[in-house]
Amino acid sequence: MTANELRKLYVSYYKERRHEVAAAASLVPENDASVLYTTAGMQPLIPYLLGQEHPLGKRLVNVQRCVRTGDIEEVGDDYHLTVFEMLGNWSLGDYFKKEAITMSFGFLTEQLNIPVSKLAVTVHKGNDKVPYDAEATETWLELGLSKEQIFYYGEDENWWGPAGETGPCGPDSEMFYVNDLPDCCEECGPACSCGKYVELGNNVFMTYNKDKDGNLTELKQKNVDVGLGFERLLILANNLQNVYETDLFVPLINKLEEISGVSYDKSNEKTYRVICEHTRAAVFILADPKKIVPSNSEQGYILRRLIRRTIRMIHKLGVKKSILPELAEEVIKMYGEAYPEVKSCSETIIEELRKEYDKFNKTLQSGLKMANKYFGKLKAGECLNSEQAFKLYDTYGFPIEFTLELAEEKEILVDVDGFKAKFEEHQKKSRTGSVGKFKGGLTEHNNNSIKLHTATHLLNGALRQVLGDQVFQRGSHINSERLRFDFSFDRKLTEEEITQVESIVNRAIHHKIDVKCVEMNLDYAKNSGAIGVFDSKYGNIVKVYEIPGYSLEICGGPHVSNTSELGYFKIIKEQSSSSGVRRIKAIVDFDNVN
């Protein structure tokens, strides 16, 4: 089974069960300051999981690309990827546990032909706040699983959420494939990491709302969020051992062999895998509608890190010429059908990779000069300290293996243990940065954040009035205290322009304009002049929010009903975000309401 066949099989299975296809969202979450990248298929649906009506109805299905950056250094083994795909389906207040589990079971056993005997599942065992999940247990037994195939765990294993400090949460029931391996111990089960149990997916039952004091109350709208691991199912469907044996990577590995002149074997397996995985990830990020480019902060920093690690690995393979653009062209060819935006952005992708290759080559030469400076002050048998070794890694992109090779040539030692300690500290910070940047995050849809969300529409409209129609939103992060808005523009705004923008927004607030919302066909919305952050996330029916005279945007919401609810708007900072992108930080004085 090919990757494209599996995607189509999954979507068609749920379409037959009255699910509508929700288009995949950007890799960068909209109006969510909690994470750098979309890490799960449910993230774009948070407003609808909180009760807002989705234009496509109560049953949804899609395939969503996600990025997780906490384990970049682990890429190259059989499991870790930075970019992966999630198969997702949702019930927004429609069906619940029994129906969700039955459909998940049917897809695994009837569509993928996984024997019932090879499945294991987990169920929430209950605690002093919530009861044991009897309905999930009974459903699995009715479907044909034995009692021995059902395992019971507490909150650490079988509880989802909330995504932030507060919000929807509830028990879940995970599904596993059981490999033909002996138990590792008496307590061996899906919670083990021994390799016998491979997670396939999870059924999350959003039953409760958690408040800031930790209290749980039952939700009026109970939801189901089902996520299945696309790559793992593809491996299983083809009876393979790892993702690099699937058609997601085999053509790329073959291309790397061809253009590098180096055969793929056990001696360079991890190097090969990293090059292919990171190239694929870089292509997807560069193709994203949010126009991410390599930089020294946030999403751009992650992209730069991936590209430069790829270049280091190409050098490690013994290849000195620039082959990254050719590899990227192969990725574009491989994924053009499933993800058309990859093909349409091909020129931009290749150009950005070429520019980053040239920049890194200069950095690499600077790093060699710094390394030689360090080594020049040491004698044979002396030790390069951990601070110097880590600076070569962090500033110049030298992996510790490269530093060790250079040191060995000069018979100099390296404080590897000290380097590892600094590296682990660096990893912890990276994980923190990729998991949660601000408190609140996904579920912080309180009154203040809703007001600030509406203010971004006014800000966008004002910027286009002052600077012209070449201005487009490139991203926004909102918490309950401030908004951050990224937009396409190639120079610093003047003080006069900033004042003009503020005046337009505050005039709209002063005039107490009703915020209108109309659902319409996407093409009709575009023809009417409505703008959107990125078209690919929208279905055929969209919500268009209008603030007459100031803004007309396709958006999921939520928004205030009248501009008078906002208060006084003030830009507190305007700066560069990345090449061709400016960033505005602004606040709204909620106490200064008309």
Determine the Cα–Cα distance for residues 321 and 566; give it in Å rounded to an integer.
56
User: Smallest Cα–Cα separation from 80: which of 90, 89, 68?
Assistant: 68
Residue 410: which H helix or E strand, with range?
Answer: none
**Cβ(20)–Cβ(539) below 8 Å:** yes
- Tokens 């999981």 — which residue? 49
DSSP state of 537: G
Which range is least confidently modeled, 163-172, 260-269, 343-352?
163-172
Q: Which CATH class is domain 3-244?
A: alpha beta
Average pLDDT over residues 231-243: 93
Residue 535, pLDDT score: 47
**Cβ(31)–Cβ(453) below 8 Å:** yes
User: Smallest Cα–Cα separation from 285: which of 533, 27, 98?
Assistant: 27
Which range is least confidently modeled, 40-54, 441-455, 486-500, 561-575?
441-455
Residue 253: which H helix or E strand, with range?
Answer: helix 250-260
Nearby residues of 420 by Cβ (< 8 Å), 6 or more positions away: none
Is 511 annotated as a binding-site member?
A: no
From residue 281, alpha-carbon distances to 259, 263, 284, 321 in Å are 20, 23, 5, 21
Residue 507, pLDDT score: 94
Residue 427, pLDDT score: 67
**Cβ(139)–Cβ(97) below 8 Å:** yes
**Cβ(576)–Cβ(490) below 8 Å:** no
Burial 245-256 (b: 16+ CB within 10 A, else e): bbebbeebbebb
Which of 336-340, 350-354, 586-590 has the highest average model confidence (pLDDT)? 350-354
Determine the Cα–Cα distance for residues 336 and 345; give it in Å rounded to an integer.
10
Residue 206, pLDDT score: 94
Residue 144, pLDDT score: 96
- The string of DSSP codes covering 344-407 is HTHHHHHHHHHHHHHHHHHHHHHHHHHHHHHHHT--TT-EE-HHHHHHHHHTT---HHHHHHHH
pLDDT of 340 strictly over 60: yes
Residue 577, pLDDT score: 80
Look up residue 34 and give its two tokens: 């909690």
pLDDT of 273 strictly over 90: yes
Residue 579, pLDDT score: 73
**Cβ(2)–Cβ(247) below 8 Å:** yes
Against a cut of 0.75, is the pTM above it? no
From residue 427, alpha-carbon distances to 73, 300, 420, 423 in Å are 9, 17, 10, 6
Q: What CATH number has the domain spanning 446-589? A: 3.30.980.10
Average pLDDT over residues 278-307: 87
User: Smallest Cα–Cα separation from 581: which of 279, 297, 340, 287?
Assistant: 297
What does the mean pLDDT of the chain come to? 87
Other residues' Cβ atoms within 10 Å of the Cβ of residue 278:
27
Kindly give the pairing relationship between strand 473-478 and strand 483-488: antiparallel
Is 510 annotated as a binding-site member?
A: no
pLDDT of 17 strictly over 90: yes
Helix axis angle for 298-316 and 269-286, nearest 10°, is 150
Number of helices (H) and strands (E), helices first, in the chain?
A: 18, 18
Determine the Cα–Cα distance for residues 40 and 84; give it in Å rounded to an integer.
10
Tens digit of each residue's pLDDT (9 = 90 or more) over 288-301? 888 888 887 778 88
Determine the Cα–Cα distance for residues 538 and 21; give it in Å rounded to an integer.
10
Tens digit of each residue's pLDDT (9 = 90 or more) over 81-116? 999 999 999 999 999 999 999 999 999 999 999 999
Determine the Cα–Cα distance for residues 582 and 591; give it in Å rounded to an integer.
29
pLDDT confidence of 29, banded at 50, 70, 90?
Answer: confident
Which range is least confidently modeled, 16-20, 292-296, 510-514, 535-539?
535-539
Tens digit of each residue's pLDDT (9 = 90 or more) over 181-236? 988 888 899 998 888 999 999 999 999 988 888 899 998 899 999 999 999 999 99
pLDDT confidence of 539, banded at 50, 70, 90?
Answer: low
Residue 442, pLDDT score: 38
Tens digit of each residue's pLDDT (9 = 90 or more) over 368-391? 889 989 999 999 999 999 999 999
Residue 433, pLDDT score: 43
pLDDT confidence of 534, banded at 50, 70, 90?
Answer: very low
pLDDT confidence of 441, banded at 50, 70, 90?
Answer: very low
Is 517 annotated as a binding-site member?
A: no
Domain boundaries, the chain: 3-244, 249-366, 380-439, 446-589
Is 559 annotated as a binding-site member?
A: yes
Tens digit of each residue's pLDDT (9 = 90 or more) over 395-437? 887 768 778 878 888 899 999 999 999 888 876 665 544 444 4
